[in-house]
Amino acid sequence: MFAHSGKYNTLQLDKIKIMRSLLSFDIETIPDANGIRSLYSLPENLPDAETVEWMQQKRRAENGTDFMPLHLQKVVAISCCMRKGEEKIKVATLGNITDGEDVMISKFFDIIERETPQLISWNGGGFDLPVLHYRSLVHGITAKRYWDTGDGDAYNSKDFKYSNYINRYHTRHCDLMDLLALFQPKNNIQLDEIAKLCGFPGKLGMDGSKVWSAYNQGRLQEIRDYCETDALNTYLMFLRFELLRGTLDGDEYAHEIELVRQFIRNNQDKEHWQAFNENWK
Protein backbone atom coordinates (compact mmCIF):
# COMPACT_ATOMS: atom_id res chain seq x y z
CA MET A 1 0.00 0.00 0.00
CA PHE A 2 2.87 2.36 0.78
CA ALA A 3 5.60 2.83 -1.79
CA HIS A 4 9.21 2.79 -0.65
CA SER A 5 12.63 2.62 -2.25
CA GLY A 6 13.26 -0.95 -1.09
CA LYS A 7 16.45 -0.01 0.78
CA TYR A 8 16.37 1.23 4.34
CA ASN A 9 18.77 3.78 5.73
CA THR A 10 19.60 1.74 8.83
CA LEU A 11 21.63 4.45 10.52
CA GLN A 12 18.79 6.93 10.16
CA LEU A 13 16.19 4.44 11.39
CA ASP A 14 18.27 3.51 14.44
CA LYS A 15 18.81 7.17 15.26
CA ILE A 16 15.06 7.82 15.20
CA LYS A 17 14.19 4.94 17.52
CA ILE A 18 17.11 5.21 19.92
CA MET A 19 15.83 8.68 20.81
CA ARG A 20 12.81 7.36 22.72
CA SER A 21 11.00 4.32 24.06
CA LEU A 22 7.43 3.73 22.95
CA LEU A 23 4.84 1.89 25.03
CA SER A 24 1.32 1.31 23.76
CA PHE A 25 -0.99 -0.22 26.32
CA ASP A 26 -4.51 -1.42 27.01
CA ILE A 27 -6.35 -2.65 30.09
CA GLU A 28 -9.29 -4.98 30.64
CA THR A 29 -11.59 -4.67 33.63
CA ILE A 30 -14.48 -6.35 35.41
CA PRO A 31 -16.90 -4.91 37.98
CA ASP A 32 -15.38 -4.75 41.47
CA ALA A 33 -17.87 -6.92 43.37
CA ASN A 34 -16.10 -6.45 46.72
CA GLY A 35 -16.13 -2.70 46.25
CA ILE A 36 -19.83 -2.70 45.38
CA ARG A 37 -20.71 -4.72 48.49
CA SER A 38 -18.63 -2.38 50.63
CA LEU A 39 -19.98 0.90 49.25
CA TYR A 40 -23.62 -0.15 49.25
CA SER A 41 -23.63 -2.23 52.45
CA LEU A 42 -24.64 -5.43 50.66
CA PRO A 43 -24.26 -8.77 52.45
CA GLU A 44 -20.66 -9.99 52.39
CA ASN A 45 -21.80 -13.47 51.36
CA LEU A 46 -23.80 -12.21 48.35
CA PRO A 47 -22.25 -13.94 45.29
CA ASP A 48 -20.26 -11.76 42.90
CA ALA A 49 -22.64 -12.40 40.00
CA GLU A 50 -25.67 -11.28 42.03
CA THR A 51 -23.77 -8.30 43.42
CA VAL A 52 -22.83 -7.11 39.93
CA GLU A 53 -26.34 -7.73 38.61
CA TRP A 54 -27.77 -5.60 41.44
CA MET A 55 -25.37 -2.79 40.58
CA GLN A 56 -26.06 -3.07 36.86
CA GLN A 57 -29.79 -2.72 37.49
CA LYS A 58 -29.12 0.31 39.68
CA ARG A 59 -26.95 1.89 36.98
CA ARG A 60 -29.52 1.25 34.25
CA ALA A 61 -32.27 2.84 36.34
CA GLU A 62 -30.16 5.91 37.10
CA ASN A 63 -28.18 6.40 33.89
CA GLY A 64 -29.66 4.17 31.20
CA THR A 65 -26.43 2.14 31.04
CA ASP A 66 -24.95 -0.61 33.16
CA PHE A 67 -21.38 0.63 32.60
CA MET A 68 -19.61 0.75 35.96
CA PRO A 69 -18.11 3.98 37.33
CA LEU A 70 -14.35 4.02 36.90
CA HIS A 71 -13.49 3.51 40.57
CA LEU A 72 -15.48 0.25 40.50
CA GLN A 73 -13.60 -1.14 37.49
CA LYS A 74 -11.27 -3.89 38.69
CA VAL A 75 -8.25 -4.45 36.43
CA VAL A 76 -7.75 -8.05 35.28
CA ALA A 77 -5.23 -7.46 32.47
CA ILE A 78 -2.72 -4.82 31.40
CA SER A 79 -1.01 -5.50 28.09
CA CYS A 80 1.86 -3.52 26.59
CA CYS A 81 3.64 -3.25 23.26
CA MET A 82 7.19 -1.97 23.75
CA ARG A 83 9.53 -0.53 21.10
CA LYS A 84 12.87 0.60 22.48
CA GLY A 85 15.95 1.65 20.53
CA GLU A 86 17.34 -1.21 18.46
CA GLU A 87 15.42 -3.85 20.39
CA LYS A 88 12.71 -5.92 18.77
CA ILE A 89 9.01 -5.35 19.34
CA LYS A 90 7.79 -6.90 22.57
CA VAL A 91 4.13 -7.53 23.39
CA ALA A 92 3.15 -9.03 26.73
CA THR A 93 0.58 -8.97 29.51
CA LEU A 94 2.03 -7.81 32.80
CA GLY A 95 2.37 -10.27 35.63
CA ASN A 96 1.32 -13.89 35.88
CA ILE A 97 -2.24 -15.03 35.34
CA THR A 98 -2.58 -15.61 39.12
CA ASP A 99 -1.30 -12.14 40.08
CA GLY A 100 -3.62 -9.68 41.78
CA GLU A 101 -4.66 -6.30 40.47
CA ASP A 102 -2.15 -4.51 42.69
CA VAL A 103 0.78 -6.46 41.23
CA MET A 104 -0.22 -5.73 37.63
CA ILE A 105 -0.70 -2.02 38.25
CA SER A 106 2.59 -1.77 40.15
CA LYS A 107 4.43 -3.44 37.26
CA PHE A 108 2.92 -0.95 34.80
CA PHE A 109 4.13 2.05 36.75
CA ASP A 110 7.49 0.34 37.38
CA ILE A 111 8.05 0.30 33.61
CA ILE A 112 7.40 4.03 33.48
CA GLU A 113 9.76 4.52 36.42
CA ARG A 114 12.58 2.66 34.63
CA GLU A 115 12.08 3.67 31.02
CA THR A 116 10.12 6.97 30.95
CA PRO A 117 8.54 5.86 27.66
CA GLN A 118 6.12 7.76 25.50
CA LEU A 119 2.76 6.23 26.38
CA ILE A 120 0.36 5.48 23.54
CA SER A 121 -3.29 4.61 24.03
CA TRP A 122 -6.72 4.67 22.45
CA ASN A 123 -9.00 6.47 24.91
CA GLY A 124 -6.36 6.07 27.62
CA GLY A 125 -7.15 9.54 28.93
CA GLY A 126 -10.86 8.79 29.08
CA PHE A 127 -10.73 5.31 30.58
CA ASP A 128 -7.51 3.34 31.07
CA LEU A 129 -5.43 5.88 32.98
CA PRO A 130 -8.22 7.22 35.24
CA VAL A 131 -9.05 3.61 36.15
CA LEU A 132 -5.39 3.01 37.00
CA HIS A 133 -5.36 6.23 39.06
CA TYR A 134 -8.33 5.20 41.20
CA ARG A 135 -7.26 1.60 41.60
CA SER A 136 -3.73 2.74 42.56
CA LEU A 137 -5.27 4.81 45.33
CA VAL A 138 -7.22 1.76 46.51
CA HIS A 139 -4.03 -0.33 46.72
CA GLY A 140 -1.66 2.36 47.99
CA ILE A 141 0.63 2.18 44.93
CA THR A 142 3.39 4.72 44.32
CA ALA A 143 3.99 6.02 40.77
CA LYS A 144 6.49 8.85 41.22
CA ARG A 145 7.72 9.33 37.64
CA TYR A 146 4.23 9.05 36.18
CA TRP A 147 2.93 11.86 38.41
CA ASP A 148 5.99 14.07 37.91
CA THR A 149 4.91 17.51 36.67
CA GLY A 150 8.23 19.27 37.11
CA ASP A 151 7.08 21.41 40.03
CA GLY A 152 8.10 19.15 42.89
CA ASP A 153 11.35 17.71 44.18
CA ALA A 154 10.80 14.11 43.06
CA TYR A 155 13.20 14.33 40.11
CA ASN A 156 13.76 18.07 39.59
CA SER A 157 13.05 17.42 35.90
CA LYS A 158 12.02 20.80 34.56
CA ASP A 159 11.10 19.44 31.12
CA PHE A 160 8.19 17.62 32.80
CA LYS A 161 6.64 20.93 33.74
CA TYR A 162 5.27 21.41 30.24
CA SER A 163 5.32 17.87 28.87
CA ASN A 164 4.23 15.22 31.34
CA TYR A 165 1.99 12.16 31.45
CA ILE A 166 -0.90 14.19 32.87
CA ASN A 167 -0.90 16.95 30.25
CA ARG A 168 -3.67 16.36 27.71
CA TYR A 169 -2.21 18.53 24.99
CA HIS A 170 1.32 17.10 24.84
CA THR A 171 2.35 13.67 23.67
CA ARG A 172 4.36 12.13 26.53
CA HIS A 173 1.06 10.32 26.75
CA CYS A 174 -0.49 10.25 23.28
CA ASP A 175 -4.17 9.34 23.46
CA LEU A 176 -4.69 8.76 19.76
CA MET A 177 -8.47 8.77 19.91
CA ASP A 178 -8.57 12.08 21.77
CA LEU A 179 -5.94 13.70 19.57
CA LEU A 180 -7.35 12.58 16.22
CA ALA A 181 -10.79 13.81 17.32
CA LEU A 182 -9.21 17.21 18.08
CA PHE A 183 -10.31 16.78 21.70
CA GLN A 184 -13.99 16.86 20.71
CA PRO A 185 -15.85 13.83 22.17
CA LYS A 186 -18.44 13.98 19.38
CA ASN A 187 -15.64 13.07 16.95
CA ASN A 188 -14.46 9.97 18.84
CA ILE A 189 -14.42 6.65 16.99
CA GLN A 190 -13.75 3.07 18.04
CA LEU A 191 -10.29 1.58 17.63
CA ASP A 192 -11.77 -1.52 16.00
CA GLU A 193 -13.36 0.40 13.14
CA ILE A 194 -10.48 2.70 12.21
CA ALA A 195 -7.95 -0.14 12.57
CA LYS A 196 -9.91 -2.29 10.13
CA LEU A 197 -10.28 0.62 7.69
CA CYS A 198 -6.49 0.94 7.77
CA GLY A 199 -6.06 -2.77 6.97
CA PHE A 200 -5.14 -3.87 10.50
CA PRO A 201 -6.88 -6.78 12.24
CA GLY A 202 -8.96 -4.86 14.79
CA LYS A 203 -10.81 -6.85 17.43
CA LEU A 204 -10.86 -10.63 17.08
CA GLY A 205 -13.95 -12.20 18.62
CA MET A 206 -14.04 -10.26 21.88
CA ASP A 207 -14.57 -6.73 23.11
CA GLY A 208 -14.78 -5.01 26.45
CA SER A 209 -18.49 -5.73 26.86
CA LYS A 210 -17.78 -9.48 26.84
CA VAL A 211 -14.97 -9.51 29.40
CA TRP A 212 -17.16 -9.96 32.51
CA SER A 213 -18.93 -12.95 30.97
CA ALA A 214 -15.63 -14.47 29.81
CA TYR A 215 -14.13 -13.94 33.26
CA ASN A 216 -17.03 -15.76 34.92
CA GLN A 217 -16.46 -18.66 32.52
CA GLY A 218 -12.83 -18.95 33.62
CA ARG A 219 -11.43 -17.58 30.34
CA LEU A 220 -8.90 -15.21 31.87
CA GLN A 221 -6.12 -16.29 29.49
CA GLU A 222 -8.36 -15.45 26.55
CA ILE A 223 -8.96 -12.01 28.07
CA ARG A 224 -5.21 -11.49 28.44
CA ASP A 225 -4.63 -12.55 24.84
CA TYR A 226 -7.35 -10.20 23.60
CA CYS A 227 -5.82 -7.36 25.59
CA GLU A 228 -2.48 -7.98 23.86
CA THR A 229 -4.05 -7.70 20.41
CA ASP A 230 -5.62 -4.38 21.39
CA ALA A 231 -2.25 -3.08 22.56
CA LEU A 232 -0.71 -4.07 19.21
CA ASN A 233 -3.60 -2.61 17.19
CA THR A 234 -3.02 0.63 19.08
CA TYR A 235 0.70 0.57 18.27
CA LEU A 236 -0.03 -0.03 14.58
CA MET A 237 -2.38 2.95 14.57
CA PHE A 238 0.37 5.03 16.15
CA LEU A 239 2.76 4.06 13.35
CA ARG A 240 0.15 5.15 10.82
CA PHE A 241 -0.22 8.42 12.73
CA GLU A 242 3.56 8.92 12.66
CA LEU A 243 3.41 8.47 8.88
CA LEU A 244 0.53 10.95 8.72
CA ARG A 245 2.44 13.67 10.51
CA GLY A 246 5.73 12.99 8.73
CA THR A 247 7.70 11.69 11.71
CA LEU A 248 8.18 8.50 9.68
CA ASP A 249 8.64 8.52 5.91
CA GLY A 250 7.51 5.65 3.70
CA ASP A 251 10.73 3.64 4.14
CA GLU A 252 10.77 4.09 7.89
CA TYR A 253 7.10 3.19 8.22
CA ALA A 254 7.63 0.01 6.16
CA HIS A 255 10.59 -0.89 8.37
CA GLU A 256 8.55 -0.49 11.56
CA ILE A 257 5.66 -2.52 10.13
CA GLU A 258 8.12 -5.28 9.21
CA LEU A 259 9.34 -5.39 12.82
CA VAL A 260 5.76 -6.00 13.94
CA ARG A 261 5.31 -8.73 11.33
CA GLN A 262 8.53 -10.35 12.56
CA PHE A 263 7.08 -10.44 16.06
CA ILE A 264 3.92 -12.09 14.71
CA ARG A 265 5.91 -14.68 12.75
CA ASN A 266 8.00 -15.48 15.82
CA ASN A 267 4.87 -16.13 17.89
CA GLN A 268 2.78 -18.26 15.53
CA ASP A 269 2.53 -20.94 18.23
CA LYS A 270 -0.02 -18.74 20.00
CA GLU A 271 -3.56 -18.80 18.65
CA HIS A 272 -4.29 -15.10 19.09
CA TRP A 273 -1.24 -14.14 17.02
CA GLN A 274 -2.17 -16.68 14.35
CA ALA A 275 -5.60 -15.07 14.14
CA PHE A 276 -4.03 -11.60 14.14
CA ASN A 277 -1.84 -12.53 11.19
CA GLU A 278 -4.72 -14.10 9.26
CA ASN A 279 -6.83 -10.93 9.64
CA TRP A 280 -4.03 -8.51 8.73
CA LYS A 281 -4.54 -7.43 5.12
pLDDT given at position 7:
40
Supply the pLDDT for residue 19.
47
- What is the CATH class of 21-32+68-248? alpha beta
Q: Are 145 and 112 in contact (CB under 8 A)?
A: yes
**Domain residue ranges in the chain:** 21-32+68-248
Q: Pick out the chain residues at pLDDT < 50.
A: 1-19
Alpha-carbon distance of 255 to 251, in angstroms, equals 6
d(CA 145, CA 134): 17
Residue type, 202: G
pLDDT of residue 88: 85
Strands 21-31 and 73-84: antiparallel
Looking at residue 249, the DSSP 8-state letter turns out to be -
Handedness of CA 51, 52, 55, 61 (dihedral sign): negative
What integer pLDDT is reported at residue 214 of this predicted model?
97
Q: Identify the pLDDT of residue 258.
A: 96
